[in-house]
Amino acid sequence: MTSKRSRSPLPHVLRDRNAGIYLTGVVVSGFGTAALWLAAGVWVKDLTGSDGLAALCQLAMWAPVLAGPALGTLADRVRRRPLLIGVSLLPAALLPALSAVGSADRVWLVLAVLFVYGTAGVVHDAAESALVASAVDARLLGDFNGLRMTATESMKLLAPLAGAGLYAAYGGPGVALLDALTFVLAAGVYAALRVREEKPPPPESGWRTRTAEGARYLWGRPRLRLLVLAGGATMLCSGINGALVHAVVDGLGRSPAYAGVLAAAQGAGTVAAGLVAGPALRRLGAVRFAVYGSALAAVAAALRAVPSDAVAVVCSAAYGVGLPCALIAAMTAVQRETPGPLLGRVAATANTLLFAPTVAGLAVGAGLVELADHRLVLPALGAVWLTAPAVLARRGREACGVVVYREGDEDGYRPGDEDGGQPQPGTRTAHPPASADRTADRSASDASPA
């Protein structure tokens, strides 16, 4: 039975009603977001002729990630399903305003809307991570997070083409209206979730104290801390690697458009990684899954220095397989081991620690590519990158003695499942408060192990 479910996680995840609904929402909203991600920069470039202002579109959407711990507090203050619906409808209400942008002097409106868009996205991710942990069977979380990654990357492969076509036909406002429509549809999908949530009790402490509680909980759990920091180190190195992609293309003697071929290969690898993430997590455990994935990405990044088309494409695909492993391992562990009332803040803090280093990596890489040959930088980057999985492998096992798991998981996920299936000596378990409820219609018979 175990081997069967390991080979085919998708049917088991989709059999869970809430998991299937969530994935539908991810596909719908992800399509619009991926289309806008490309079109916004092109739109601003066309209006202003400025590469710097075009780059600010990406910064406007990324910048709110730095405020993740504070924004995540909101996900623990209100019911999460209504919050998820609300932060989907907020961008839907703002995006049509971009129809008024027709000249360079109104580009500020694009940047302002994208900043609010990014802020809503941070709150959305925190609420989603917290609600998924209570609405989706704990035994399906690894599979769900992997399939979520697959769905997101699939949209990144498909949506930019649709966005480019729509932009060519109707301009930026057409893409903005498409994205607004996808958010409305996603809100309707989230409204179909069946989840029982109690109203959170009034806070007993101030906003700053509540914000710090999420970071304190994450930092006080050695295994979670190691997984998240290893993921952050992986994303820091990935940012440096990403800044060198055009140098790699130049080294191959190709036109800049060839970067799209490498991006497609990387996306295909990420899709494949998402499909096998759940079975791999069960077989390897979170620590080894993250170690192997990060090491694969490091080696692939180093080998991109080889001036060969075949090597570049294969390395891009391998890089796509390895890079998301540390992210999936870290977020699945956070969802499984954090009490429900804290999960919004802890998830948002983890997201900040995981993704903010990407911005720093891009800045470092942009400087390095001007100072040194990429054929020297990439092998050095790979060597430095390998220290992250090496440290995680050495210290990860020592940090597995304390595991927290959620109520109702007694017949599924247990302490030690994330580390090869065997409980570690001295393991303690702690159940969260009852507010981390399971779905109202869940029964043991339909929660088949994934």
Going from the first residue of the chain to its last (450 residues), give the mean pLDDT of each consecutive group of 10, the final group possibly shorter: 49 75 83 81 84 74 83 81 90 92 89 91 84 75 80 76 81 90 91 78 72 85 91 92 84 78 85 87 90 95 93 94 92 85 84 87 81 90 94 75 38 39 36 32 30
* The two three-digit tokens of residue 338, written as one number: 């954090």
Residue 312: the pLDDT is: 93
Residue 397: the pLDDT is: 65
Q: For residue 350, what are the contacts with CB-CB under 8 A and spacing of at least 6? A: 218, 224, 228, 330, 331, 334
Instruction: Please tell me the total number of residues recorded for the chain in this structure.
Output: 450
The per-residue b/e assignment along 399-434, b for 16 or more CB within 10 angstroms, e otherwise, is bbebbbbbbbbeebbbbbbbbbeeebeeeeeeebee
Residue 116: the pLDDT is: 92
Choose among 144, 135, 138, 139: nearest CA to 190.
135
* The two three-digit tokens of residue 345, written as one number: 């803040």
Q: Within 136-256, where are the H helices?
A: 141-191, 207-220, 222-243, 245-251
- Helix (H/G/I), strand (E/B), else coil: 16: coil
Residue 337: the pLDDT is: 86
Choose among 186, 389, 380: nearest CA to 284.
389
Strand partners, 402: 428
φ and ψ at residue 428, rounded to 5 degrees: -120, 150
